Structure 1
Amino acid sequence: MLIPNVYAETLVQNLEGGMDIEITHPGEIVVGREGIISILVKNNGWEEKQDISFEFLVSEIRGLNVEPKNIIIDKLAQGGSYGENINLYITDNANPGIHFLNIKYSQVLVSNNKTPQEPFFYDIAIPITIKADPNVTIYTKTPESIFANAEFPIEVGVISEDIDITDVRIKIISPKDIEFRGETSHTFSKIQKNTPIGITSRIITPTDEVNTEYKIPFEIIVQYTDDVGEQKEDSQTVSVTLRPRTFMELTTDGGIWIGSFFIAPYVSLGTIIGIPAGAIISLLVRRKASPKKRSKKKKV
C-alpha cells in the first residue's frame, strides 16, 4: 500500500534497459515516529532483468532504522513489476534537519533474454526531513481595527500537520473590558492529521468611546494530547487596534453608524440610500421650522 500523496513525496528514476523505479517516501517524519517507504519497480524494456537489488545505507544517518535493509528480486520479465514496503523508524536520538537516505541499486540485463550482462549499479538519494516535534499550527483572523459599542468576528483555525491529536481544547483569552458573544472555549475529541478545524466568536467592544488608538491583545491557547500520549500546549497572541469611531461606520452585521446615531441592520439600507441627501437635509430643516398659520378669508 502506497503512502497517500498528501503525506509523501515520490522519486522517479528511469534506468538502463527500460527499468523504471518509483520510490514514495515521507517528506517529513517526526522523532520517535514511524513511516513507510514504498518501492515499485517496472521492467518496461523488451529484455529480461535479474539479480535486482536495493541496499539501504542507514548507518549514514544517526537514529534512522530501516527494515528490511536489503531487497532482492531474482527475476523480472518484460512488462513485469514488483512492489514492496520498507518500514522506517526515527529514534529519539536522531538529529533534526534534512538528511539523505542513500540506496545502492543494481541489476543484470539478460541480453536477448538469454545472456546475462555485466551488473549495472546506480546510486539513489532520498531526501527526508527529520522534525523534533509535530507541528500544530494556529491561524487567527480578526478585523484590522475595531471601535466602541459594536460587534466584530474573530475566527480561529487549527491544523495538525504531522499527527492525529486528541482531547483538543481551544481557548480565546481577551482583556477584561472585552466581552464575547458565543463560546470562548471549544473542545474536540479528535482532530485528524492535516484536517483543519475552525471556530468563530464575536467580540463585543466597550460602550465608552475612546479618544486615541491602542492595541488590544487576544491570546489563543490550544491544549491537546499527541499520538504518543503526551499532553502539549501551543499558543498565539494577536493584537487588534481599538480606535475612535469615525463619522460613518459600517458594522459587520449590516448596521451603520452616522455620527452618534445607529441604524440597525434590519432597517433597509436601500431605503436610506434611495433618499437623496438633499431631501434628507430638507426634511430635517422643515422639522425644525415652525409651521405657518393660514390667514382666514373674510366673508364678503
Structure 2
Amino acid sequence: MKYYLLVLAVFFFIPAYGLQNTISDSNIQVALNYPDILTPQDNFVLSSVVKTSADQVSNITLTISSPQLDISQNQFHIDSLPKDSTLGNNFNSKVKQGTPDGTFLANVEVQYFIKGYFDPKPVKNSLTKAIEFNTQSKPLLLLNTQSPDDVFAGEPFSIKGTIKNQGSDAQNIQMSVDSLQVPLDGRKIYSQTNLEAGKSSDFEFVLQTPKDFGIPTHASIHLNGTYMDKSGKAYSLGDSLNVFIRQRGLLELGGPEGLWIGNFFIAPVVGVGTIVSSVIGLLIFIWHMKNKKKQKRVKK
C-alpha cells in the first residue's frame, strides 16, 4: 500500500494596487494581478493564482506573451493540483522601451488535462484570453474636489478632495488656494513628496474669510498646483470652486446649509418677522386646537 502526503506552501507577491483578470471554465480558474499603470522600461510583477474545481486535473501550463513585454520566464507548469487547491506564480516582467502611451494586449493561454470517469485517458483542454495593460511615460494627476456651497464670513470651512495619478510616478506635488474676490486665511498650502502610478491621496484646505466681510458675495476659489516626473519636468494642475460668503444671521443656528432638529429642518436664514413668527403662529394654532378638543369632551 502506498501513501502520498502532499504539502503545498506558496509564497508570492501580489501588488498592493492594480487590476485583476480571470480566465476560467468549469474545471480551472486562473486569477492574474498586475499594476493598472505601467511605465516603459520599469520592472513589474504579474502574479497568477491557479485554482482547480474538479478532480483529475493535471499537466497545467500557463503561458503569457506580448510583443510589448519582456518576461523572464513566460511559462508556469504544474504537474497536478488536487480539487479546490491553489498554487501561485510570479511573472517578472518589463515594458519594452519605445512602447507608446496607451493600452496594449497580452495573450494568456491555459492548457491542462482532465480525466473523466468514462475517459480511457486524460483529455486536453485549452483556454485563451487577451488582457489589457495601460502604459504611461509621464504622470497625469486628476483632482476631485468638494467644497460647501455657503460659508459664514469669519468662520472656518474646508475644501477637501482627492488626487488620483493616472500616469507614471509623480514627485514634488505642490498645491495652493486663492481668490480674487475675497482674502483667505488658514491652511492654504498642500505638499506631497511622491504619488505612485495608479494611487490616490486625500487633501484638505481649512480656510477662513475676514469677519468684517459685509456684502454677501459669490466668490471663486482657485486651486493651483505643480508636480514633476522622474526627470524633473514640471506639470500643472488646477480646479475652481464657487462659494457664497455671507454674515451669520442674528438667530441663525448650525452651519450655513441649515439645521436639522429631529425630522424638522430649520432654514439657514431666520428673520425675526418671517420664519420665527410663522413657527410661533403654528404653535399657538396647535395649542388652540388641543384646547378646543378638551372643551368638546367636557360638554359631552
After TM superposition, the score normalised by the length of structure 2 is 0.62
2:58 counterpart (49, 58, 65)? 49
Match of 1:21 in 2: 30
Q: Does the alignment pair 1:99 with 2:99?
A: no
Match of 2:131 in 1: 126
State the Cα deviation string for residues 204-226 of structure 1 (Å, max 9, x = none).
4884647xx7x644331233445
Query: Quick one: which amino acid aligns to residue 230 of structure 1?
Result: G
Query: Quick one: which amino acid aligns to residue 65 of structure 2?
Result: L
CA distance, structure 2, for counterparts of residue 37 and residue 29 of structure 1: 11
1:58 counterpart (43, 56, 66)? 66
CA shift in 2, pair 1:95/1:4, >3 Å? same
Instruction: Map residues 245-284 of structure 1 onto 2, 5 A cutoff.
Output: 277=277
Number of aligned residue pairs: give it: 249
Are the counterparts in 1 of residues 71 and 93 from structure 2 also a CA contact under 8 Å?
A: yes
1:186 counterpart (186, 190, 198)? 190
CA distance, structure 1, for counterparts of residue 41 and residue 254 of structure 2: 47
- What are the ranges of 5 or more consecutive residues in structure 2 without an aligned counterpart? 1-11, 259-268, 279-300
Instruction: Map residues 1-300 of structure 1 onto 2, 5 A cutoff.
Output: 1-4=12-15, 6-15=17-26, 18-50=27-59, 52-59=60-67, 63-73=68-78, 75-79=79-83, 81-109=86-114, 116-117=121-122, 119-144=124-149, 153-161=157-165, 165-175=170-180, 178-190=182-194, 193-204=199-210, 207=213, 209=215, 216-226=219-229, 228=230, 230-240=232-242, 277=277
- What are the ranges of 5 or more consecutive residues in structure 1 without an aligned counterpart? 257-268, 279-300
State the Cα deviation string for residues 117-170 of structure 1 (Å, max 9, x = none).
3533221222323345434222333343679x6556351434244566553322
CA shift in 2, pair 1:68/1:108, >3 Å? same
Tell me how far 1:244 sits from its aligned partner.
8.8
CA shift in 2, pair 1:141/1:252, >3 Å? farther
**Which is higher, the Rg of structure 1 or of structure 2?**
1
After TM superposition, the score normalised by the length of structure 1 is 0.62
CA shift in 2, pair 1:191/1:198, >3 Å? farther
CA shift in 2, pair 1:245/1:130, >3 Å? same
CA distance, structure 1, for counterparts of residue 182 and residue 97 of structure 2: 44
Q: Percent identity?
A: 12
Are the counterparts in 1 of residues 143 and 239 from structure 2 also a CA contact under 8 Å?
A: no
Tell me how far 1:101 sits from its aligned partner.
1.3
CA RMSD, Structure 1 to Structure 2 (Å): 4.3
- Secondary structure of 2:25's aligned partner: strand
CA distance, structure 2, for counterparts of residue 191 and residue 27 of structure 1: 14
Are the counterparts in 2 of residues 146 and 243 from structure 1 also a CA contact under 8 Å?
A: yes
